[in-house]
Structure 1
Amino acid sequence: MANILVINSGSSSLKFALFDTEGPVDSGSGSSVHVLVKGQFSGLGTDRYDVSMTRHKPGISTVSPGSAPDHHTAVASLLVWLERHGLLDDIVAVGHRVVHGGRHFQQSTPLDARSVKLLEALTSLAPLHQPYSLAPIKALQTRLPDMRQIACFDTAFHAKQPKEARQFALPYPMYDRGFQRYGFHGLSYDFISRCLPEVIPDFDRDAKVIVAHLGNGASLCAIQSRQSVASTMGFTALEGLPMGTRSGAIDAGLVLHLITEEGMTPDDVSTLLYKESGLLGLSGISSDMRTLLCSDKPRAKQAIAHYCYRIAREIGSLCAAMGGVDHLVFTAGIGEHAAPVRERVVAQCDWLGMRLDASANQANQACISASDSQIGVWVIPTDEERVIAADCAAMLR
């Protein structure tokens, strides 16, 4: 057996999945990795931590790894559980989702002390993500120092965008120093791009596709020929669409004003933009779209309206970047499950000839566009862990 353990670590969660690499090629993903075990530690760093399991391999007991209060304990509990079930010795590598690869890492990369140090230096560019991506890496370096670890980057999928899409209008030498648009959610977009030929009948590989990754973090990506053409996120995972607690795009002059005129410190502004804005800030109620959709309060309704407006507006921008669009794909938590959000976005894209099949949308079907729609509209669940496993397996061959 040659198994790969995948860890996808967030600020308060740690998703894990164990993949077998010796099975037949999967037609949907184009890879030969097959999930054996999948689960998630949630509520890390809070007093409501827990663990849930989705099991795929027969014979594994129903007792899941013990719940853990933090990332290091979660990793330790997971290793003990894997060893107890005789699965640890078959692991040949651990693949990690790392949000920001900066300009040094443009493809999946084996990890060593030097690479981890370079990734630590990017923490200020992804403060809600990078420390938590690195936490299980460091824990495994301590507990299993000989284990091969591989980082797979959310920024890598966008690395081949045209230079004009990556540049800021700053003095050119700053671009060479790394001040550029990186884009994020690349592992999710990579998975969707691999699935398109299997999901969409008679799919043209040169089709112009916009993918809407809508979750607590949210972004859009224009994809053609399986390449990222443009994306809404930039230098950090703060830019672009409003998100659960992040502001999305904001006038840089407003940030300067908050510091020079309102007396806010850089830390104050960081807290405001990363943790107190977005759906939470607009609504004053919650960062969770499910809660807002159930609310009858005016600010909740206005937060949803602004969110959908920004998505529709950015779809127009990405259409300009590609010179049109053939398909719109919704994915991630909100994209896969919030039918009212999809309905509102598509309605605001009516000018593109985009039409929705209301019943298909309510049922979260794969194809939700009406028969007379000029644009295909789809719902495709994402699977970042599978992409990580496939990339790691390719490196091990």
Structure 2
Amino acid sequence: MSNILVINCGSSSIKFALLLEDQHFRIQGLAENLGTAEARIKGVTIGEEKFEMPLPHADHKQALEVALTRLKHYKPEAIGHRVVHGGEITEAQLINDEVIQHIKQTSALAPLHNPAHIVGIEATLELFPDLPQVAVFDTAFHQSMPEKAYRYALPKNLYTDYGVRRYGFHGTSHAYVSERASTLAGQKNQGGWLVAHLGNGSSTCAVWNGKSVDTSMGLTPLEGLCMGTRSGDVDPSLHQFLAKNLGWDLERIDKMLNRESGLLGISGLSNDMRTLVEAADNGNHDAALAIEVFVYRLAKSLAAMSCGLPEISGLIFTGGIGENSAYIRERVVKSLPHFGFSIDQNQNDHARGKEIRIDQGQGPQIWVIPTDEEGRIAHETREIALKIAEPA
């Protein structure tokens, strides 16, 4: 079971990766702007050779067919689908009619994501009806959270009848980097780890002995940290205030909170941390403030996550910002003076995109671990596929 195809379908895009020979080699690509005249597919082959071709008005199935022609010499043996919301499902699932129906029923909790995943699943089932296909849920890793961490202080029937609770996201990333860091530290899936997954979407997680015990995102990926364009936590009465004083409806408020807030909203300039750091260095007050808010809210969240851990083995940075911004890592560590972290300036400055330990050897460890969500999805897909391939 060496060739695993990983698919991540969005509403107008498909990310795909074929992982070969136990993940040491991979072909990956992106089909974007599907359904429009600008639809195209691009990617990188094993030899780092780039490819790109137009696919005017192609739909998901057509884009997948084109992608698979590029993989004709490497027939997949199983297919793993990233699914954002799985409700209270606790692990990856072999896709069948029951699982598909569950993903559809959970679409109310992820209306921008789960319907697109269904499109990709149905297309690949038609193209590969005989291959095992597996749904790997972003939310599954966090279903080990205790009830005190996932329940909101709301009437009970909202949870029992409608599933209103904290689910958490970025689960495949948090699972991968926490397992990897604990392995590098010499005790796989042991100890207490604080994880900061930092990108356009950002979240924190507390992991104890390989299991999530708390995380910053909740019912949706809007809860928690200040992100690229998402506000993170706000006063719940903000909706009423905006409706009463500005006449905004729920759709307008939702758009503002998800697409016009966060780093972009505060700075009025960009949701790209690199742009903001450069602007702040040139005296832009709003860019500097956006960074301050991002770092402060992140440090507060990590401190809160620590309440779920009996002890702290270390702190992990991952995601585009976490892996590449020495400046943000340094600022965050300095904002947590009570935890005994000691960052090695030289190691931190040279950690861009590397798997590296950046502490001074005193106190809890600090790691930069590039995430590999495709690798994690392939791993979980392979485990499920091997189980069903075993003789009875």
TM-score (normalizing by structure 2): 0.87
1:320 aligns with 2:304: no
Alpha carbons 1:43, 1:69 under 8 Å: kept? no
In the alignment, is residue 176 of structure 1 matched against residue 166 of structure 2? no
Deviations 1:39-86 (Å, cap 9, x if unpaired)? 334566899876543433x6x9x463524578835x534533433553
Q: Give the alignment partner of residue 360 of structure 2, picking from 370, 375, 381.
A: 370
Q: Which moved more, 1:303-312 or 1:185-194?
A: 185-194
- Separation (CA, whole Å) in 2 of partners of 1:336 and 1:205: 21
Distance across 2 between alignment mates of 1:187 and 1:71: 29
Change (3 A) 1:276 1:195: same
SS of 1:360's equivalent in the other structure is helix
Q: What is the deviation of 1:124?
A: 4.0
> For 1:263-302, what aligned pairs fall within 5 Å after superposition?
263-295=247-279, 296=282, 297-302=284-289
Q: Deviations over 1:236-267 (max 9, x none)?
A: 11100011111111111112322344321111
The Cα offsets for residues 157-194 of structure 1, whole Å up to 9 and x where unpaired, read as: 01111111111111223322311111110000111132
Aligned residues of 1:8 and 1:385 also touching (Cα < 8 A):
no
> In the aligned structure 2, how far is the partner of 1:84 from the partner of 1:7?
15
Q: Secondary structure at the match of 1:359?
A: helix
Q: Which residue of 2 aligns with 1:29?
A: none
- Find 2:175's aligned residue among 190, 196, 199: 190
Cα distance in 1 for partners of 2:119, 2:292 equals: 37
Which whole-Å CA distance do the structure 1 matches of 2:264 and 2:329 have between them?
Answer: 20
Task: Name the CA distance, whole Å, in 1 between partners of 2:382 and 2:269.
Answer: 44
Q: 1:86 aligns with which of 72, 76, 81?
A: 72
Aligned counterparts, 1:129-168, within 5 A: 129-168=113-152
Q: Give the match for residue 360 of structure 1.
A: 347
**Counterpart of 1:17?**
17
Q: Does 2:22 match 1:36?
A: no
Query: Structure 1 residues 34 and 76, CA, compared in 2 at 3 Å: closer, same or farther?
Result: farther
Are 1:233 and 2:223 counterparts? no
Question: What is the SS of the residue equivalent to 2:307?
Answer: helix
Match of 1:396 among 369, 381, 385: 385
1:8-60 per-residue CA deviation (whole Å, 9 max, x = no partner) reads: 2346653321123xx5xxxxxxxx4543322334566899876543433x6x9
User: SS of the residue aligned with 1:312?
Assistant: helix
User: In 2, are the aligned partners of 1:39 and 1:51 still within 8 Å (CA)?
Assistant: yes
Alignment partner of 2:237: what SS? helix
* C-alpha contact (below 8 Å) 2:37/2:57 kept by paired residues: no
Query: 2:196 aligned with 1:249, yes or no?
Result: no
* Counterpart Cα distance in 2 of 1:71 and 1:222: 42
Relative to structure 1, is the Cα distance of residues 375 and 46 closer, same or farther in structure 2, using a 3 angstrom cutoff? Answer: farther
Decide which moves more: 39-48 or 107-116: 39-48
**Corresponding residue number in structure 2 for 1:28:** none
1:226, 1:244 → 2: CA distance? 28
Give the partner amino acid of 2:72: G
Residue 269 of structure 1 and its aligned partner are, at CA, apart by: 1.1
Match of 1:385 in 2: 374
Q: Would the aligned equivalents of 2:176 and 2:373 in 1 still touch at CA under 8 Å?
A: yes
Of the three residues 48, 53, 66, the one matched with 2:43 is: 53
Counterpart CA distance in 1 for 2:216 and 2:32 is 28
The whole-number CA distance in structure 2 between the counterparts of 1:327 and 1:321 is 14
**Distance (whole Å) between structure 2 residues aligned to residue 137 and residue 163 of structure 1:** 32
Are 1:64 and 1:81, in contact at CA under 8 Å, matched by a contact in 2?
no
Q: Which residue of 2 aligns with 1:26?
A: none
Maintained 8 Å contact 2:266/2:287? yes
Structure 2 residue runs of 5 or longer lacking an equivalent are: 387-392
Structure 1 residues 254 and 190: alpha-carbon distance in aligned structure 2, compared to 1, 3 A threshold: same
Tell me the matched-pair count: 379
Identity %: 38
Cα RMSD, aligned residues only: 2.7
Normalised to the residue count of structure 1, the TM-score between the two structures is 0.86
Deviation, structure 1 residue 143: 4.3
Per-residue CA shift, 1:291-348, capped at 9, x if unaligned? 1112132111110110000000011101122144220000011100011111110110
What are the within-5 Å matches in structure 2 for residues 52-131 of structure 1?
52-56=42-46, 62=49, 64=51, 66-68=53-55, 72-73=59-60, 76-83=62-69, 85-87=71-73, 90-103=75-88, 105-131=89-115
CA distance in structure 1 between the partners assigned to 2:124 and 2:39 by the alignment: 21
Distance 1:65 1:309 in 2: 41
Q: Distance in 2 between matches of 1:83 and 1:51?
A: 12
Measured against aligned partners, the alpha-carbon deviations of 1:107-157 in whole angstroms (never above 9, x if no partner) come to 212334553343234334334433443342243345445554321000000
